Structure 1
Amino acid sequence: MHDTHAARLDHLDRVAHTMDRALRIPLIGVRVGLDSIMGLVPGVGDLLALGPAGYIVLQAHRMGAPRGLVARMGVNIGIDAVVGSIPLIGDLFDVGWKANSRNVKLLRDHLEAQSVAVTS
């Protein structure tokens, strides 16, 4: 993997961490992020959470992710947005789905597999 890709992935990991799992809920130990917290605000919360999610997908595209991978990342965001818009159920879903972390993992796995293929 290129050094620039590694640095960009680290940055995207931090964005995903902030959005998906930055805070631990006391007593139950579940990790939530700004995505889950913003989702509690009816209407605008889920809409605002699309910004960082879209940023991750845009960066994946700029890093050379194939269209199929970018589409899969878009589906993850779509599922998060649609189910997340359902009051209460969507908020609980957001806690477990963590679309941003899923998408960064997809990108990391792709770039690592690409790197292995080049060095083999």
Structure 2
Amino acid sequence: MANRTTRINPDPLDKIVTSLTGRDVESVRKRIEAMEHLLEGLIKIPGTNRKIGLDVILDVIPVGGDAIGALMGAWMVWEARNLGMSKSQMARMFGNVGIDFLLGIVPIVGAIPDYFFRSNTRNLKIIKRHLDKQHPASAIIDQR
């Protein structure tokens, strides 16, 4: 019986690892867009054109859930820092995360304003404007 060895092509695996850990603009953009989708657009509400994500879902957990959502939103600002965004842009983004945290601090009832004030989507728009201006080659056409 011949010993068959299956070789895995490392290129696709390298692409995945690079997009998760890479500091290049395209990798950062993909990570930020993925986080925004997770936090704001994970599940479509039946009968509507609106989506909710973990940010609203976590609001059912008193204080801790909203804190987790705020930390995940703050991570997006951290990634923006790695892109070289200005302090004023990052302050605005942290302000969005702070407002979102304060709106959602009341358990369950806080999910309602959190549903309408989508801080992560706002922050993604700020980041995309920066990237489109500073790194136009990394622009991706939205297919949503």
TM-score of the aligned structures, taking structure 2 as reference length: 0.72
Aligned equivalent of 1:37, options 57, 79, 87: 57
Name the counterpart of 2:13. Answer: none
**Once the 2 structures are TM-superposed, how far is the Cα of residue 88 of structure 1 from its aligned partner?**
4.4
| 8 A contact 1:9–1:104 mirrored in 2 | no
Distance 2:104 2:55 in 1: 10
Q: How many residues align?
A: 114
- Where structure 1 has 5 or more consecutive residues not aligned to the other structure, the ranges are none
Provide runs of 4+ in structure 1 moved above 6 Å.
none
Is 1:75 equivalent to 2:79 in the alignment? no
| 8 A contact 1:13–1:101 mirrored in 2 | no
Distance 1:89 1:109 in 2: 33
TM-score of the aligned structures, taking structure 1 as reference length: 0.85
Aligned equivalent of 2:41, options 21, 39, 44: 21
Bigger CA drift: 36-45 or 26-35?
A: 26-35
- What percent of counterpart residues are identical? 27
Name the counterpart of 2:131. Answer: 111
**Once the 2 structures are TM-superposed, how far is the Cα of residue 111 of structure 1 from its aligned partner?**
1.9
Name the counterpart of 1:100. Answer: 120
State the AA in 2 paired with 1:36: V
Aligned equivalent of 1:48, options 61, 68, 71: 68
Aligned equivalent of 2:28, options 1, 4, 8: 8
Distance 1:79 1:37 in 2: 17
Instruction: Tell me: higher relative CO, structure 1 or 2? Use CA pairs within 8 A at least 6 residues apart.
Output: 1
Say what the alpha-carbon RMSD is for the aligned residues.
1.7
- Where structure 2 has 5 or more consecutive residues not aligned to the other structure, the ranges are 1-22, 137-144
Q: Which has the higher helix share?
A: 1
| 8 A contact 2:73–2:97 mirrored in 1 | yes
